[in-house]
Structures are given as C-alpha cells and as structure tokens.
Amino acid sequence: MELKKFEDMIITQELSNFFDKLADIFLLKKYNEIDDINFGRYKLSKLKIEEKFPNTDFDYLVYTKEGHIMQDELIIITFRDLMNELNTLIDEFDEQEIYIDKKIKYLNKYNEIEFKDIKSKNPNLSNINDYRSKNIKINLGGILSTAHVFGSKRLTDFLKNRKHIYLDENNVPITEYFAQLGLFDISTFFKKKDEDIKVVVPIENDKDNKIIKKLSEKDKKDFFGQDSKSDISSILEKLKDPSIIKGIIDLINASKNNNKDKNSEKNNNNNNNNRGINNSNKSNRSNDNTSKKIVKSNKNINDLLREKYNSDKYKKDSSKYIENTTNRNISEKDKEDINNILNMYEEQTKDENGVGDTIKQKGYDDFRDVSKKKEKLNIEDMIYLILKNNRGNELNILEKSLEGYSCRYIKESFTHKFKSISKNIFLSKVSDLINMNLRNVGINYKVDLSEYNYLNYGKKDIDDISLKGDKRILDYIKLNNLVKSSFSLDSKDVRIYPRSRRLFDNILIKYIKNRIRYKKSNFDGIDLKDLNLSRNTIIFLDELTFGLSEEEYNLIDQIGNELNITKLIIYLLKNKFRYSKKILENINSNIDKTYDEYMRDNTKESDKSAIKNIFPTKISLEKHCELKGIRGIYFFYKSFYDEENNKILNSETIATTSVLVKCNMCPTPSKFIIGSVNTFVKGDMILTDNDKLIATFPTCAIAKVCSINILGSNWQPVSDLKYGLNNALLLSSKINCSVGGIISLESTTMKNLSKSKIKTFENNEKNDSKINSPFKTKDELIDFLDKRIISFNSIYDLYDLRDNRIKFVKKLYTYINESKKILSSYLSPKYVDRKITYDLAIYDNEKIIDMSDIMDVMKQYFDSFINRGVDTKGYKIFKKYGKNINANKFLEEYLISKNSISATYDYETNQVKNEAIWIKYLLKEYNRYKFRKRNVKLNEEFKRKIVMYHKIGGGIDANSQTPWCSSFVNWILDVSGIGSFKTASSQQMINKLKRIDKPLYGSILIFTKYNKNNEATGHGHITFLMGITDDKKQYICLGGNQEREIKYSKYYLDKKMGVKGGYFKLNGIFWPPDYPDDKIEEIK
C-alpha cells in the first residue's frame, strides 16, 4: 500500500498488510490494470466511483504514482461506505463464530458444485480448505473484504441463511476470505463506536455478591462458557453435542440454585466459615459449581478482579483464574509453565491502576467456546494469546513474559564455535577465546559475554517447555512480518529475542514432525539441537523465507517421515527449488565432521545407496560439489566410496565453454559462443544439452560453407547432473548436424597422455612475436563490469533505496567494498615486465591505462543518487546518463584524461572471428531472460528492463505495453558501443541504417506492415538475422517483442505474412552505417 496517512490517521503496518494480501493474494491485481468495468489494485468499480466522484480521470488513477495513492484512499472510502451499509450485519456478526453445516453446497456463479470438484484458478490459493462441519470466526476485516468482492447481498445471504458457500471468479470460497483475512485486526482504523469491554466475574463470596448486585440487570448476564458477546440462543443453535448442552443447562441451574440459597448462606454464615477450607478445596477442583456473571468492565470490577487474582486462591495458581473465567480446563502438564508466563505477562502489561491483561481477561473470548469445552488449554494457547493481544509490540512483550526461563543454547552456541575449548570452560573464558581469535585475524574488537549470564538462570530452560506444534503461532508471525525481526541479532551476534525465537524454532520443528508423522525423537539421532544439521537446515529455510509457506511445507512433505540430512541434501540437489543453492551452501558451512562422526541414526546403508544412486563414483560427487562450491558435503560423504571406484573416468568429466568443438567434416576445430547456465568452473561456464550456439567451422566437406544446423538434434550421452531443467554435457557428448557431420567435444586441459604419441621438432624460424599482455583489455573490462559491478539489478537495487538514506549508505558501503575486492582481483596483472605505479590497469590502444581510482568514481556515481559528491567525475556521469547507464558508457567518460604509459603487447580477444560486436550482447540478453516466465523475480526484472530498452534505445518513457522491438535493437547497439539511434519506431530505422544486399550474420532485418490496399501503415518489425532454414525460405531471427519475448522466430524471405488488417513483408537488410562489414560471414 502506497498510502501512509488518511485523514490524520497513520496507516498501520497491519492495515497495509491487510490490503496488500487482499490485492496481491486474493484479487491478483496491480495499480496499473484497467478494463471496461473495474480498475486498479483493488478491483474498484468504475461505475460506483464515477457516481461518487463525477468526471474521474481513470488514466490518472491507473498510470501515475499519485493516482496509485488515490486508489488506496478510494478503497478506504469504499470500506467506510460498506460499514454504513452493513451496520446492522456488523453489529450481529462481528467477532462471532458461526457454524458451517456439512450439508451446505458451494455455488459457482449460479451452479452448485461439490468441494472435490472445485479447482482454484488462483495460483496463490491452490490448496483451499473445506470449512464445513467447523466453526469459522467472523470479524470486521472478513465482512468488509467479502462485501467488496462478493457483494453485500451474497455476504448477507451467507451469514444469515447459510444455504450456499459462494466462490469468487477464481473459484476461491468466501470462507477462505474469512479464514485468512480474519487474522488481521482493522477495527482500530475502521472504528464504528467505542465498545464496552466485558469480563467474567466468579461470585465466590459476599463481597462479590454485593458488587454484582449493584449492577443493573442489562449490565450483567449469566456465564456458562460463551464469549462475552453471545447469548444462549446463538450458542445452542450451533451445538451438536448433547453432552455440552446438558453441561450448559447444569451451569444455568447451578446459577439459579446459587441465587436461591443466598439467604440461607447468610443464616449459616458461621458454619460456612468453619467449613471454608473444604469449600475452597472443592472450588479448586471444579469450576462448574460457582455462579459467574458477564459484566461490563469498570474500575470497581477491575479492583475486584485484581483482589481475586492476588488472593491465596489464585496467586500461586494463576491458571485457575483462566479456568474460572472461561469454563475451560488447563492441561495439567502445562500448568506450571502457564502460571509462570501469565504472572510475568501480568507484570509487563499493568496499567496505572496495577491491572494487567491477565486480570482484564484480554483476549479470553477466544477461549470461551462451549463447543470446545472438552479441549484443554495448553501453553501454546497462551503464547498465541500474548501475540494477538499485543499487535505491534508482540516480540518485546512475549520475550519479557518468558523471562522466567533460562537459555542454555546461547552459551552452548558460542562454545561449539571453538573446538579447542574444554567441555567445562566458564563463559568468561569463552569471551577471552573469542577476543583472542578476533585479534589473530586483525580485528581489534572487545567482546564481553558476561552481560548474557542472565540467560543461564531460570526455574526451567526454554527448551524444556512441552509443545504440541501449534501452526497458528507460525502463521501469525509470518503473516505479521515478525519472522525476520525474531531472528535479529545485537552487536555481538546474540539474539535480541533469544527465548521467543527459540520457542518459535521448537514449535516449528514439532509441527513438522507431526505433519510428516516423524516417529523418532530427533532428526539424525542428534539430541543437541544446535548440532543437528537437519533441524538447523529447516530453521535456516524459515529465516530465509521469512516464515515457511505451504510451498516449503510441501517440499518437506515430499521428503517424508524418514527425513534426515541426506534426504534433505538429495532433494536440494535433484529438484529445482529457488533456495537450493543458499541452503546447500549453509549446510556446507555447518559441516565439521564426516558422516560416520556425525550421524547417530542407523541409516548409513540407505543413505549410502541414495547418494551413490546419484553419484556412482567418488569423482562424480567431488566434481559436482566443486562446481556448486560445496566441497564440505563431498568430504562428509567421502567414506561412502570404496577405493576401487575412485578412478577418474574421462568420459564422465563435465564439459565447459573452454572445450574444443570438432566436426568430422572439418579439420579445424571451433568453439561455443556462450553457455546458457550461470554456473562456472575455474572461470568457464558449464555446458548443458540446451547449448547449441557454436561458432561456424571454417569449411565443410559436404556443403563447402559451414552452416551448423543442430537445433533439431540432441546431445548424447549427457550427465545425470541437472542445471535448471537441463543435463550437463560430458566430454564424450556428441550431436549430429543436419548436413551429415558428427560434432564432438575435446578438453583443452585434460589430455589422456598415456595414449598420446608426442612428436617434437625444432623451430628454426626467427620469433618476432610480442610479449603477451599481462593486462585485461577494455572490452574484457566492459564485459566484466556489466556482469559483476554495474549490472541492471545493482543499479536499480540502489536507486530504489534513495529515499531511505540510512539503508542506501549502508548498502552502498557493503557493495563498494565487495566490488573493490572483486575488481582488484580481476585487474591484477599476471606479471609486469616494467615498473609501473598503477594499482589497477588495463591495456588499450597500445597504452597501459591507470584504473586505480575506478571504484572511487563508481562510488561518486552512486552517491549522486542521493545528491552527495557534487562536482565529482562520478556526479557528472550521473547527470549525463542518470540510472540508464552501462559499462561502455561509464568507461567512455571515466577514461577521459586518464594517465597512461605507452606499451606494445599481443593480446587475445574473446570476440569470435567474423562476427559483429553486438552478437555477444544479443545472445547474453537472450540467455538471461529466455526462461523468465518460470521465475517470478526474473519476470519482474524483465518488465523493468523493457522500460530501460525504451529509455536508452527508443528515447521514450514507456513500459511493456508499448511495442519495443526497435527500442531493443537500439539498446543492443548502444551497449555494444555502436550507439543508439534513439527511436522506438522500426520504420524510422530504415532512414538511419545502411541498406545492404547480402544477408550477413547479425545484420538487421526490417519488415513493413501494409493494409489491405497495399499501403504502408508506418508500422512494422525489426530484428537480428541469425540463420536460415534448410529449405532457404525463412530467415531465423533473434529479436525483442517477438510474441512479447526475446526469442528466435522465423520470417519469410519474400512472402507476405498475413496479420490483422493486412500483411507484413520484408523491407530490406540493414547494417549500422559506420561499422565494417567486409569480413562478416554471409548466411546462405
């Protein structure tokens, strides 16, 4: 939600989260969407808005940032109007539970449908729940959101008649809205009126009687287990258990008998006093025989309740207070913990009158449900109560309520970090050792852990609390964005909320064990929680995802009830999961033992079989772990392999872009242009069976001129190792060319010397070759900067933080320091044959150029985002290009007037011979985004990238809704150093490019659209030529906005291509006017 304030009221985080969930999860809408009926993020009705605000400019609302804020205001106004309209309904049902009968039918538009036949079309809500035969809580957020989506008539029919459960347009039931959006409390913002707070008073003596008697009859009613807003008729309606009804009747009768016997109690007061102890004991054993009243809370009532709570009856047994004010029993094994937590919670929430939330019975209505009378309350019910009662300050209050517990794991976690510490070392010695280790690595930082001694003391340790694994708590902290905060650390890397976070960890692990029906006590047989790799991996995933979603729970479900560290690792290796890389790296960093030293479960044989099924040899495991940067996992499983299986098999070696590509139709080898996966080994990209972009061979024995056509063939054999959706290539992999050639691979680094015949000869020719350059070239640096330093994501991530100066400066500091290390390593020469004073340098145009301050200028450029460093070189670059910059432009400005030394070196170029310079940038952009529809994050990045294509290439401000083929071509030309012609029109490019008569590899094709009268419409398409089909009838082109993608497409050479309202036809073949084309390969 963009709106921060409405009518002098601050938009709370909870309210913002509520509307975000309504829009993003349920409605699937964004601010800039509009159709004939609705518009915007909240699917607001154009007709209703027009009626309320005549002459509304919907384009302004949809396409401007100010309009987006106005959409937020309009949804609040809409909800307020709904409150007035539904005033009676809200009074009747707000904060009530209703029972959904199992016979109620689901209704899709006008057709009844069975639950099993419902197929949700909402990708966020694919697993919907059936709430029939259950109670569902109704609150203000659920009422207003469902009225907005389903309409007031259907909402009223559902609540009052309960004949149908309505489905929205994506087949999501109305009950799902109540269940999920009902977790938000928006009543503080949408206040109708101040409501009276009601409490339950057990009448246990004459003083109680006198105070209650003074209240008017309308201000008190009998309590028999219902919540404070319900009456007996609404309760009886939803009950199905006769025994519960009988219990209620007994309670009512007891209340009547209690009133009848008031006079006799007065007459026999002395006798009652003599039997006071016995009566007290009876009262403690049962809460059914005490008359209780629901009354309005006021100072006198609160004083009475405080006196009760602090009496001998409740002081040491505060759980009894809950039992007597809710008519629910508390689990016997949880009483001690509940007493400890409630007493601390009461202390933390006391007001100026000394009355806290426990005495005030805040949130107790959640426990007052006669249909759940037989279900005992437990410790997790109290944790959930504390969280819900303290929205906005949940973690602080919960942490203070848990202060009676020790946190041994904090001390243990420090101890485990240092293996040389003896088992009985004191905490102060741990501090000394940490300080010593820090000094050894050059960090002068004093760590004193004595302030954490308090974590060692308590009646009980936090890990000793018995838990059931209540998912409500996990859902609450995720929904309210508390997971990240709960993991936060102080300056000494100790948790700020050590007890609360540990409690959440234990609840999570218990829930997962229950969910997958895990039979054993602990994963991997490891009792110490912080040494348990499986447990720590799950908790790390929880931290990584800011709370596990159903997607991650399903992942764990797939692993099943035999979950252990091996099964987790195998799943992450074999399946495409967005966090696999980070989790594997985390496991790798935490491994400090071998499998045999670590594992305590008797699962070695099954684990060994599972690992060897994927990696049959030790070398295959080692190579894969090396590729992934997880060698610790290799050493963990190294013992699984016998010595006879440790031979290096050349046929199983993974192929990279460094290989030579051979064809039996040409004696001269070629090479790959680029790979398709962003995974490297020693600087070379891994090849997969999807990689078929090979530079053409110099000759062909059959076709004379090589035209590689392998798109319809497959590499065989391939490795079992997966990178994305594709298998890695082996050095033994081969593929057939349609011409008849067989293409194979050969390593440039691994030769089988045992079978080679090495010939030697004496070279008597004079060697006039120059010394190889020890420096990187300008072109190499441009490529490197684009990928690693000033990438599209890096620029926009920092630019988006410009309004938050603190976060911006912090992120920039980290980013610049990391980039300095990377660039320093990259620009360090292999050797230097002369004395130079440059810390960093490149070689270009027979000069060694000083690059020592490049990161300083880079920092100046980024500082300019927040108007720092005015009049610096970096600031001038920003003023000229803004955020729409690339490495080529940056270096062009940076290298002006740089110090240099003349020198003559040979150097290798990465550019493929006879290839236009823009080809590598075109292929790089294609490979970056070709799978973007499968990756939500990449897809969002792509939409932002199109804006940049338009800005830099087309010279306009537009988004993906504006045709972008010409902007894309110009952007490619710009980043490759040719320069943009600044036009978003494909037809204008006809006058800006040079028309040529040969179809050169990488040339630019322009198509023109004609109407039915054969008249040019001024529209068309522009793309890059990459090949030709076997029948020579269609060009194979790679370009932008081809079916809204960067993709390969086929276009006829001279045939009309029909489109709506006319046809397309090739206008001509073009080339940038100042770029040489004499050595470029012709496509035939």
Please write the tens of the pLDDT for every residue from 522-575: 999 998 888 899 999 999 999 999 899 888 898 899 999 999 999 999 999 888
Q: Top-level CATH class of 650-752?
A: mainly beta
CA 408 to CA 641: how far, in whole Å?
Answer: 39
Q: Other C-beta atoms within 10 Å of 498: how many? A: 22
Compute how many other C-beta atoms are within 10 angstroms of the C-beta atom of residue 615: 21
pLDDT at 905 over 70: no
Q: What is the DSSP string of 277-332?
A: HHHHHHHHH-SSSS-EEEEE--HHHHHHHHHHHTSHHHHS-HHHHHHHHHS--B-G
DSSP 796-836: HHHHTTTT-HHHHHHHHHHHHHHHHHHHHHHHS-S--SS--
Residue written as tokens 């306009």?
A: 956
Confidence of residue 255 (pLDDT cuts 50, 70, 90): low
Same topology, domains 650-752 and 918-1071? Answer is no
The model's pLDDT over 600-655, given as tens digits with 9 standing for 90+, comes to 988 999 999 999 888 887 877 888 888 788 888 988 998 888 644 333 333 347 88
DSSP-assigned beta bridge partners for residue 1063: 1010, 1058
Answer whether residue 165 shows pLDDT above 50. yes
HSE-up of 772 (CA within 13 Å, CB side)?
A: 7
Confidence class for position 20, pLDDT limits 50, 70, 90: very high
**Who wins on pLDDT, 16 or 724?**
16
pLDDT of residue 258: 53
Task: Identify the helix (H) or strand (E) that includes residue 406.
Answer: strand 405-406
- Structure-block tokens of residue 834: 């002369």
- For the chain, which residues make up each domain, given as ranges? 5-181, 198-263+289-377, 405-516, 522-648, 650-752, 776-902, 918-1071
- Asked whether the beta carbons of 32 and 63 are under 8 A apart, the reply is yes
Query: Among 88-102, 465-479, 484-498, 729-743, whose mean pLDDT is lowest?
Result: 88-102
More confident residue, 110 or 1005: 1005
Six token digits for residue 792: 């599209």
Cβ proximity of 178 and 111 under 8 Å: no
Interval 205-242: pLDDT, tens: 888 888 888 887 777 777 776 766 665 544 554 455 55
Residues 6+ apart with CB under 8 A from 784: 776, 823, 826, 887
Q: Are 911 and 920 in contact (CB under 8 A)?
A: yes
Dihedral of CA atoms 397, 402, 408, 410 in degrees, nearest 10, equals 0
Residue 408: which of 376, 456, 374, 444 has the closest Cα?
456
Render 691-718 in DSSP notation, one character per residue. Answer: ---BPPPS-BTTTBS-----TT---EEE
The CATH code of domain 918-1071 reads 3.90.1720
Q: Which of these, 738, 697, 696, lies nearest to 714 by C-alpha position?
A: 738
With 80 as the cut, is the pLDDT of residue 504 above it?
A: yes
Contact 195, 297 (CB under 8 A): no
Q: Provide the whole-model pTM.
A: 0.47
- Say which residue, 222 or 403, is predicted with more confidence: 403
Report the distance separating Cα 533 and Cα 536, nearest Å: 5
Percent of the chain whose pLDDT exceeds 70: 83
Cβ atoms of 622 and 572 within 8 Å: the answer is no
**Average pLDDT value for the chain:** 80
| Token pair 């009601």 in the structure block, residue | 198
Q: Are 287 and 322 in contact (CB under 8 A)?
A: no
Phi and psi at 153, nearest 5°, equal -65, -45
- Convert the pLDDT of each residue in 877-893 to its tens digit: 988 888 888 888 889 88
Q: How many angstroms separate the Cα of 49 from the Cα of each of 57, 131, 151?
A: 10, 34, 16
User: Which tokens go with 275?
Assistant: 């039997």
pLDDT at 167: 93
Q: What is the DSSP letter of 548?
A: -
The first and second tokens of residue 862, run together, are: 């980024």
Tokens of 84: 């007035």
Comparison of pLDDT for 168 and 233, the residue scoring more: 168
Q: Are strands 841-844 and 776-777 parallel, antiparallel or unpaired?
A: parallel
| Helix spans in 904-1039 (H) | 918-929, 936-948, 965-975
Q: Would you state the pLDDT for residue 452?
A: 61
Smallest CA-to-CA distance from 920 within 994, 1002, 979 is with: 1002
Distance, in Å, from the CA atom of 148 to the CA atom of 43, rounded to the nearest integer, reads 9
- Over range 238-263, report the average pLDDT: 54
Please identify which residue in the block is written with the tokens 């309520």: 401
pLDDT at position 556 is: 92
Contact 314, 322 (CB under 8 A): no
Q: Provide the angle, in degrees to the nearest 10, between the axes of the packed helices 533-544 and 580-590.
A: 140
For the CA atoms of the chain, what is the radius of gyration? 36
Residue 762 is predicted with a pLDDT of 33
